[in-house]
Amino acid sequence: DVKVTQSSRYLVKRTGEKVFLECVQDMDHENMFWYRQDPGLGLRLIYFSYDVKMKEKGDIPEGYSVSREKKERFSLILESASTNQTSMYLCASSTGGLKETQYFGPGTRLLVL
C-alpha cells in the first residue's frame, strides 16, 4: 500500500512565524504535490515537483515555497505565516507521468493566529 505521511495533523502558529510542513512517501514516487483545501473553494494546487530539486508553481504559490532535496520528501514552507493561510494542507504523490493516480496523506490542519 502507498503510504504518504505528513509531519503533523494539527498545528497552531502565530502570524509572522516561519512554518515547515513535511511530507514523506515510501513508494519511490517521482511526483509530489502540495494542495490546500478550504470550504467552498475546493482543493487548490500550491506547488508540485516531478523530480528531486525540481519544482513547479501551481495555482496559488504566493506566500509559499517548497523544497525537495530527497525523492521521498517534499517540504512546504510558509515564509511568514499569515491568518489567511489558515487551512487544511494536503500532500500527495504519484508515479510516472503527471496524470497518474495521486495518493494523499492525512492532511495538516494549520491555524495561524
Binding positions for other proteins, rule: CB under 8 A: 4, 31, 33, 35, 37, 42-43, 45, 48, 56, 58-59, 88, 90, 92, 94, 97-107, 109
**Minimum distance of other proteins from residue 27's CB (angstroms):** 13
Q: Identify which of 66, 72, 71 has the alpha carbon closest to the alpha carbon of residue 51.
A: 71
- Comparison of 16 and 27: residue with beta carbon closer to other proteins: 27
CA distances from 15 to 5, 27, 54, 77 (A): 26, 35, 29, 14
Question: Max CA-CA distance within the chain?
Answer: 39
- Comparison of 17 and 59: residue with beta carbon closer to other proteins: 59
**Minimum distance of other proteins from residue 1's CB (angstroms):** 11
**Minimum distance of other proteins from residue 104's CB (angstroms):** 4
Q: Identify which of 51, 48, 20, 50 has the alpha carbon closest to the alpha carbon of residue 34.
A: 48
- Comparison of 85 and 89: residue with beta carbon closer to other proteins: 89
Let me know: does 3 contact 71? Beta carbons within 8 Å.
no
- Comparison of 46 and 112: residue with beta carbon closer to other proteins: 46
Cα distance from N-terminal residue to C-terminal residue, the chain? 37
